[in-house]
Structure 1
Amino acid sequence: MLKKLCKIICIVTVIVLLTSSCGRGSESAQTFNPSSPAIKSINSIKPAVESSTKVDFPKNIYKMDVNLDTKSKMLTGEEKLTYINKSKISLKEVYFHIYPNAYREKETTPAQFGFNETFPEGFSEGNMNIKDIYVNGKVSDFEISGKDKTILRVPLKKELKPGSKVNFNLNFTVKVPKGKDRLSYYNSSYNFGNWYPIAAEYDDKGWHLDSYYSMGDPFYSTVSDYKVNITVPKDYVVAATGESAREKLKKGLKTYSFSESNVRDFAFTTSNKFKVKEEKVDGINIKCYSLGTDKELSEQMNYATNSIKIFNRFYGKYPYKTYSVAESSFLTGMEYPGIVFISDNPVYKKGGYYEAIVVHETAHQWWYGVIGDDEVNEAWLDESFACYSENIYNESIKNSREYFLQLKDYYYIYSKNNPDKKVMLKPVQDFKDDMEYSILVYYKGAVMLDDFREKVGNENFFKIIQTYYNRYKYKVTRTEDFIKVSNEITGKDWNEYFNKWLKGE
């Protein structure tokens, strides 16, 4: 996700780049040409070798049926979850995150960009009401806890052994707040990000039961399979994670069916004002949903297709059949598997910020989507990579590093003025403010990757990236995994180097 700081600073530099190096503001983007001699030092790199990764580890299976009432602003849902104990111990209970409850009170609402921006008409309450829960077909007790009431505990009558399955049925409603956030409605669009009961992760650190922090993207999940039916008024169009089947019309309502395997989350957005455009790129179906003009829709498609081509080339093939870019009443951009939410703010379109959002969020399809990480404790593993991906995009398509050099300059100015703020590898809640989080996790991480690239050379750098991508596809990585690949490819120990950057040692 592009943070508030990136709105103010990080991508403001891109605006300068887009308007100066390309000689334009809102004109159409240049078309990516992999054979172009724009920057030989990067475009001469051999394209990533396409590889398929067999998923040979257990996954949860989600099946959901939801209905959106646009009059009451209420979503009614039924979730059927086949949950697998992926841990090494027997479980007496299973926890879920029910993130919509964070919107119950102003004090717990994760308004990353401030309340005035997130709620332009004043605070609007949202919530999730769990009506009932069944475990293996039998009604179950449950308990809701956490300071923001976003933790759902379901006790098990019989211990769940490692590798064993249990079936949950959860019936719930979601009251959608009015605003411009991950979960919200405003004007003609509805955003449904982090909206359903999602199983919490249990690993060698135990249960991950973090609150819905306003800092960063405080989510952590492993890949699952999804089948989701979404019913909306017939004049609404739904953009969502995954492949879509034929829509079904009944009594003034339309049901969209989506399915996808090996994704960490499921999100959707819907509007009765969408203009839709589709194109095929590298065998991938690109779908763009715009609330603006036909010209803006074409630009949006250009940014999306260019991004997919470039990251396919330098990182590795996008493994899903569909990728969607959807405008909504959102403040910047937000990544989800197979879909990203993009702000409909007209100021961004005029200034060039819009392209940067699409590029950044598309990069997250690789860094967070395919390769996962614990975004609460090691956020640099996706945000630093996504931020630096903007530079890869600009080098390849624009023959320019101007954006990155401005970013680099700003980081060093901040570092000089804040010598006590060096550690970027720490939990999101330990950052003092959004400025520190964004400068260190986005900027410093990107500067580190560029410095590392300079030290190992282009060929080794991209070999490391591609090896890392192929090896950990669909898995969750930690910092030591990236360092391990770097050591392996170069034949050199980089632990001390990364510790200095990441931990300020």
Structure 2
Amino acid sequence: MMCRTRSGVFNRSGIQQCSLVGLFMIMLLSITLSHSSPIVDTKPFKSSVNHTAVTADDYDDLSSGDFSTLELSTINLSVSLEEGDSTVDGSMFIDYRNDAPMAISQIPFHIYPSGMTYENRPGSIEISSVACVDEPSLVEGFQVQDDDQLLWVDLTSPLDSGDYVALEIEFVTTLPDGGYERAGEHGSDTAETRIFTFASSYPIPCVYDRYDGWNTDPYLPVGDPFYFGMAFYDFYVELPEGMIVAATGDPTVITNVSGRVTYHYSIEAPVREVTFSASRYYRVESALCNDVNVSAFYLPASDEAWEEDALEQALQALELFNATYGIYPYPTLNIVEQHASYGGMEYPCQVYATRLITQQVIDGDASPWYLELVIAHEIAHQWWSQLVGDDCVDWGFLDEGLTCWSHSYYAEVYYSDWEYFQAERYLDTVRSFTARNGIGCVVNASNLVRPELTGYADYVKMPLILQKLRLTIGLDVFITGIQSFLQNYYFRIATPVDLRNSFELAAGTDLDWFFVPWLDNGYLPDYEIQSAVFDPEQSILSFTVVDLNRELNGYDYSQPIPILVYGVGPDVLVEETVWVNGSETLSYSLDSAPERIRLDYHGYVLVALDEQSLPWYDFENIQTALPLLPVIGIGIVGVTAVLIVVFYFRKQRT
């Protein structure tokens, strides 16, 4: 999803300086490493849950449509939209598989619509009934916790790990008004802008993992609360005649009975959830890309921004990411306009870009490329959060970081410019963050711990860190690491440790020295030169590069810093790049006396700066060491003088 506060665009002010658009600049990496190794002593990367990876053969089978190795829940979901009162009647048959490592006596489901509040018509979901299809019945009852947006199904006896139970759940969802939330009904028939969006709007099984147990986080005001496992879906959508619908899956059967049209969406590959959006006014454009039917659904009022361009941009994004990362295994991909307060949102086979940002582009209140950014970003989520899942609450920086890096890579490929999608350079935002806000920010933290920093940490700092890694290990190795990550966790759930392991496998070396400080420290290094002394007899300059923020962090940073030593005027006596591990003492043999030492931050050095700081640090207070013999002579004279004075006073006393 694009950055947001309450499901909305993340404000670029104060702590919320998110710079939604774009990422980085290209850095020259043709540097000479000297003085020290890039490896530093660190503690192991913050531990997390390690899930079972798939094998290369598994990836080949799964990406080609052979899912026989997957043991997943199966869901048959039928929904019927009532246009008059904006409700959706639903019936869900689920053959639920217990993926927990132990027997369970309760099954929790998310019922997020109850958390989608709006004063005119808040969202809600009413659970009409829960029944067991099996005989004898294994369902004892159910409980609804509206405040936590949870449905708990009580079982008569424990369900063993790996076993199945067949349930039927009847429900009625009320779509909220206001054009604010992920689901909703908004717009008018008069303006031909009315849209119904059904998203995360039915009971969805909670995930059990070894880190949190049951993940029952409610609908959150920031970030994405969604953390779902894969399931096989059959999806039926019934609507009034005359409505145009976009939904997850391939519409294989369409029936029309008594003015009601039913679409059957066949989804052969597993997905994490399903969604649909319907309007009487959608215009549709479609094209094929690698046997994938790509379609754009947009309102007449958005012609100026969407017509032809949106579809072309979607095709470009799909083609790039499919070739770069790995296979998109579904036959359809929809880009759909919706009403909401954020930029866009991702779902399996379907992504949303909002009417809000479309109008901003048309009115000139947003950059002309903003819609393209959202489209590229949300399509990248098909790989990061969908094909490879993650805990978006605790590790939202994982999928958002990869996705933001991806939409910037899209800009590099199609526009030859890393800064094409940047209102403010991510590098400038991160460097000046502490100066602007007076605090640090740890990336590797739950959105529940730092909700006000989610936009900055997930959408700005994390992709910047990934870009720094790319420039450190090289693009080819970086892409190989991402491909390995996708293949190992295709249709599964991954963690930050899994991503690090994938990059280490590609690089052939340990990368704790990189990941630990950049993800677990809150403050960037603030370098200063100390103890700079020039010995004219030996023509040697010695000084120490010190990180003033070292005590604020748990781990030392290691990064290359270009160092220049100047003589009189522009004369450069030394120019080289040095790996600085925390603090570093350096010595140089010079041809003449130094006047100034510079730490050059023009490249991709991540360092704390004030907003008005120049991208370098200069030091001119270089001390000159006195020659050794004169010092000894002065010392002898001084000692002699003291002895004479002492002798004199003793003589006087006697």
**Bucket of the pairwise TM-score, normalised by the shorter protein:** 0.7 to 0.9
- What residue ranges of structure 2 are gaps of 5+ in the alignment? 13-17, 30-58, 188-193, 522-553, 555-654
Please tell me whether the aligned partners of residues 330 and 341 of structure 1 are also in contact (alpha carbons under 8 angstroms). no
**Which of 290, 306, 321 does residue 298 from structure 2 map onto?**
290
Find out whether 1:304 has 2:311 as its counterpart.
Answer: no
Please tell me whether the aligned partners of residues 289 and 297 of structure 1 are also in contact (alpha carbons under 8 angstroms). no
Judged with a 3 Å threshold, the aligned counterparts in structure 2 of structure 1 residues 67 and 13 are, in CA distance, closer, same or farther, namely closer
1:278 corresponds to: 286
Q: Which moved more, 1:347-356 or 1:126-135?
A: 347-356
SS where residue 94 of structure 1 aligns?
strand
2:72 corresponds to: 59
1:136 corresponds to: 133
After TM superposition, list the pairs within 5 Å mapping 1:99-498 onto structure 2: 99-103=112-116, 109=117, 122-137=119-134, 138=137, 140-145=140-145, 148-180=147-179, 181-187=181-187, 188-204=194-210, 205-260=212-267, 261-292=269-300, 294=303, 296-331=306-341, 332-345=343-356, 346-349=359-362, 350=364, 351-352=367-368, 353-402=370-419, 403=421, 406-418=425-437, 420-433=439-452, 436-498=453-515
What does the per-residue CA deviation read over 1:112-166, in whole Å, with 9 as the maximum and x for residues that have no partner?
xxxxxxx6xx5422211111110235464111126x2411111111211111110
2:81 corresponds to: 68
SS where residue 302 of structure 1 aligns?
helix
Q: 1:51 offset after TM fit, Å?
A: 4.2
Q: Which moved more, 1:314-323 or 1:136-145?
A: 136-145
Code of the aligned partner of 2:129? D
Give the Cα–Cα distance (whole angstroms) in 2 for the partners of residues 396 and 432 of structure 1.
33
Code of the aligned partner of 1:290? Y
SS where residue 245 of structure 1 aligns?
strand
Give the Cα–Cα distance (whole angstroms) in 1 for the partners of residues 515 and 439 of structure 2.
18
Q: Which moved more, 1:176-185 or 1:406-415?
A: 406-415
Find out whether 1:80 has 2:93 as its counterpart.
Answer: yes
Q: 1:4 offset after TM fit, Å?
A: 2.9
SS where residue 124 of structure 1 aligns?
coil
Give the Cα–Cα distance (whole angstroms) in 2 for the partners of residues 243 and 425 of structure 1.
38
Q: 1:12 offset after TM fit, Å?
A: 6.0
1:96 corresponds to: 109
Code of the aligned partner of 2:216? L
Q: 1:52 offset after TM fit, Å?
A: 4.3
Code of the aligned partner of 1:283? D
Q: 1:407 offset after TM fit, Å?
A: 2.1
TM-score by length of 1: 0.86
SS where residue 227 of structure 2 aligns?
coil
| CA RMSD in angstroms, aligned pairs only | 2.4
SS where residue 89 of structure 2 aligns?
strand
Give the Cα–Cα distance (whole angstroms) in 2 for the partners of residues 416 and 11 of structure 1.
16
Give the Cα–Cα distance (whole angstroms) in 2 for the partners of residues 7 and 379 of structure 1.
15
What does the per-residue CA deviation read over 1:314-343, in whole Å, with 9 as the maximum and x for residues that have no partner?
211212111110011123201001101111
Code of the aligned partner of 2:441? K
Code of the aligned partner of 2:350? I
2:649 corresponds to: none
Please tell me whether the aligned partners of residues 59 and 224 of structure 1 are also in contact (alpha carbons under 8 angstroms). yes
Code of the aligned partner of 1:136? V
Code of the aligned partner of 2:496? T
What does the per-residue CA deviation read over 1:409-452, in whole Å, with 9 as the maximum and x for residues that have no partner?
1222224434632211222111141xx21111110001000000
| Structure whose alpha-carbon radius of gyration is higher | 2
SS where residue 141 of structure 1 aligns?
strand
2:42 corresponds to: none
Give the Cα–Cα distance (whole angstroms) in 1 for the partners of residues 493 and 444 of structure 2.
16
Please tell me whether the aligned partners of residues 481 and 504 of structure 2 are also in contact (alpha carbons under 8 angstroms). no
Give the Cα–Cα distance (whole angstroms) in 2 for the partners of residues 323 and 315 of structure 1.
17
SS where residue 142 of structure 1 aligns?
strand
Q: 1:280 offset after TM fit, Å?
A: 0.4
What does the per-residue CA deviation read over 1:5-31, in whole Å, with 9 as the maximum and x for residues that have no partner?
7565456645x99xxxxxxxxxxxxxx
What does the per-residue CA deviation read over 1:252-305, in whole Å, with 9 as the maximum and x for residues that have no partner?
111111122211111111111011111001221101111135552311101100
Code of the aligned partner of 2:73? N
Higher helix share: 1
Give the Cα–Cα distance (whole angstroms) in 2 for the partners of residues 13 and 161 of structure 1.
47
Q: State the percentage of identical aligned residues.
A: 26
Q: Which moved more, 1:451-460 or 1:494-503?
A: 494-503
1:37 corresponds to: none
Give the Cα–Cα distance (whole angstroms) in 2 for the partners of residues 415 and 241 of structure 1.
42
Please tell me whether the aligned partners of residues 199 and 276 of structure 2 are also in contact (alpha carbons under 8 angstroms). yes
Please tell me whether the aligned partners of residues 19 and 429 of structure 2 are also in contact (alpha carbons under 8 angstroms). no
Find out whether 1:499 has 2:516 as its counterpart.
Answer: yes
Equivalenced residue count is 457
SS where residue 58 of structure 1 aligns?
coil
Judged with a 3 Å threshold, the aligned counterparts in structure 2 of structure 1 residues 487 and 13 are, in CA distance, closer, same or farther, namely closer
Q: 1:406 offset after TM fit, Å?
A: 1.3
2:635 corresponds to: none
